[in-house]
Structure 1
Amino acid sequence: MGGQNSALLAESYCDWWSLAGVDALVGEQPAGWLAMSPANDAAASRPRRTATAAAEPQPLPDALQRQSSERPVESRGPTALPADWKDFHQWLGSSEAVPGSQWDARRVLPVGEAAAPLMLLTAWPEIDDQREGQLFAGPAGKLLDAMLQAIGLVRRQCYVASLAVTRPPGGRIDAHDAAELDRLLWHHLRLAMPQRLLLIGGDIVRIAAGLTLSDARGKLLDLNQDGGKMETVAVAHPAMLLARPAQKAAAWDSLKLFNRGR
């Protein structure tokens, strides 16, 4: 390039920069190209406001506000137990306050009359009992009938009951339920007034006699009921005897104690 055109082009560049406000190629003071102007610093120090900032939530209406309880929650006392035999049985069948009724909607209720020659008592219904709606159902019931026949009784002569009217999950209870069922046990025995008592299964033996089944086998247990002694014998549950036939001999050793002295 050169000549007159080059001169005209250079003059055009200078005019453009002059119009842009640049009047010198090099300034007298050094310039920091990355330094922010004071105006920009002030703007940066102010908190930014976004257009999408959420509005403050409005308070709930009074009707929806959480109300503080002015009165402390009263603790529930022990369950009231009906003192009349008929009322007691109606209560077992319908009341939500019955200890041990909370585990299943289907209740398995006692069968028989007070002052029976023998009361058969287990802790709670077995799975088959819960399904059939009666205690000692199925093959276990047939074995029990044979055991009773061996001591000269039939089931209809006995008062048949479980301590709890439903079966707890896994056949286990906590300390609170155990305390409530213990109260129910002695009240039930007081109303039933059986001549003799047959505890069936390790759970009821532990609750009523405070013994393991192995320690109670072959022994005549005298339970203290309102100052009187009640002849009591403990045997394994017939369902257990069906699963472990070798234990039938121990059950017979206990049952025949009822015939002692006759």
Structure 2
Amino acid sequence: MLAESYHDWWSLAGVDALVGEAPAGWLDVPAANDTAAKSRIAPIAAPEPAPLPAALQRQEAPIEAGAKGPVALPGAWDEFQSWLASNPDVPGSQWDARRVLPVGNAGAPLMLLTAWPEIDDQRDGALFTGPAGQLLDAMLGAVGATRGDCYLASLAITRPPGGRIDERDAAELDRLLWHHLRLAKPGRLLLIGGDIVRMAAKLQLADARGKLLDINQDGGKLETVAVAHPAILLARPAQKAAAWDSLKLFNRGR
């Protein structure tokens, strides 16, 4: 019975002889019994392998465009303002089609400079809008100024994704920063927000509290202080004391 069981198992597996005259492919699909039909059956083409996912396909090496030189910055005030409004090569204009442009004139008693528009500013197309703008107006009133007396600008005229920039953009904006200040010729400078303080004064905002910052412009020292952005002050009222410690430096000698 055991031998019959083995025999039956091998028979079911397709083994019908211990030794054959020709090699047999036991795993091959059996052909039709009709030998004439066999000759009429077209061979089954092997299926084409599925293409590799795009991530695994060989990628052609990108052709790098020639490196651009530094962007030419207009040297006249009116040309510079028109350039900011429309030129596609303006550093910091690449992140949004809507540009938030400066407001005011060269030689203003006070220049307000932030790194880039806030989300609400980008939406509204103007700097320091909404409740943050109302708080800024109150801050200016505390030092005897109004928005109409000031030149308001952001270094980048659009907001970068996530409010962060890479080293290449930072280098271009650094050139733009000092050129902008040179043309604006403000009497005093108020840096608004930690990003512009790091770029212009190479300091953290907390280290600028209550200090006149060392900003040199064309060989002269530009009286400068730094405060947190009004939107931050609204969210964190405890920081208003630090902002006042810096703003009151503008009242000295008045």
TM-score (normalised: structure 1): 0.74
Residue 193, structure 1, aligned to residue 182, structure 2: no
Deviations 1:179-208 (A, max 9, x none): 010000000000000010000000000000
Residue 75, structure 1, aligned to residue 73, structure 2: no
Count matched residues. Answer: 206
Structure 1 counterpart of 2:100, which letter? V
> Which of these residues, 212, 222, 233, is aligned with residue 241 of structure 1?
233
Deviations 1:204-233 (A, max 9, x none): 000000000000010011301121110000
* Structure 1 segment 95-244 matched on structure 2, within 5 A: 95-244=87-236
- 1:7 aligns with none
Q: Distance in 1 between the 2:134 and 2:146 partners?
A: 11
| Larger CA Rg, structure 1 vs 2 | 1
Q: Is the 8 A contact 2:143 2:247 kept in 1?
A: yes
Deviations 1:136-171 (A, max 9, x none): 000000000000011111001100000000001111
Structure 2 CA distance for partners of 1:167 and 1:72, relative to 1, 3 Å: closer
Q: Distance in 2 between the 1:76 and 1:230 partners?
A: 32
Structure 2 counterpart of 1:133, which letter? G
Q: CA RMSD in A?
A: 2.2
Q: Distance in 2 between the 1:120 and 1:169 partners?
A: 23
Q: Distance in 2 between the 1:127 and 1:73 partners?
A: 32
Structure 2 CA distance for partners of 1:241 and 1:33, relative to 1, 3 Å: closer
TM-superposed deviation, 1:51:
8.4
- What SS class does the counterpart of residue 107 from structure 1 fall into? coil
- What SS class does the counterpart of residue 184 from structure 1 fall into? helix
Q: Distance in 1 between the 2:169 and 2:184 partners?
A: 22
- What SS class does the counterpart of residue 75 from structure 2 fall into? coil
Structure 1 consecutive aligned stretches of length 4 or more whose deviation exceeds 6 Å: none
- What SS class does the counterpart of residue 234 from structure 1 fall into? strand
Deviations 1:18-65 (A, max 9, x none): xxxxxxxxxxxxxx982249xxxxxxxxxxx968699xxxxxxxxxxx
Q: Distance in 1 between the 2:143 and 2:117 partners?
A: 24
- What SS class does the counterpart of residue 138 from structure 2 fall into? helix
Unaligned runs of 5+ in 1: 1-31, 38-48, 55-70
TM-score (normalised: structure 2): 0.76
TM-superposed deviation, 1:251:
0.6
Q: Distance in 2 between the 1:256 and 1:162 partners?
A: 23
Q: Is the 8 A contact 2:201 2:214 kept in 1?
A: no
* Structure 1 segment 31-50 matched on structure 2, within 5 A: 34-36=20-22
Deviations 1:103-124 (A, max 9, x none): 1111100000000000000000
Residue 90, structure 1, aligned to residue 76, structure 2: no
> Which of these residues, 227, 245, 251, is aligned with residue 253 of structure 1?
245
Q: Distance in 2 between the 1:232 and 1:142 partners?
A: 22
Structure 1 counterpart of 2:79, which letter? D
Structure 2 CA distance for partners of 1:103 and 1:72, relative to 1, 3 Å: closer
- Percent of aligned pairs sharing the same letter: 74
Structure 2 CA distance for partners of 1:261 and 1:209, relative to 1, 3 Å: same
Structure 2 CA distance for partners of 1:72 and 1:215, relative to 1, 3 Å: closer
- What SS class does the counterpart of residue 131 from structure 2 fall into? helix
Structure 2 CA distance for partners of 1:155 and 1:33, relative to 1, 3 Å: closer
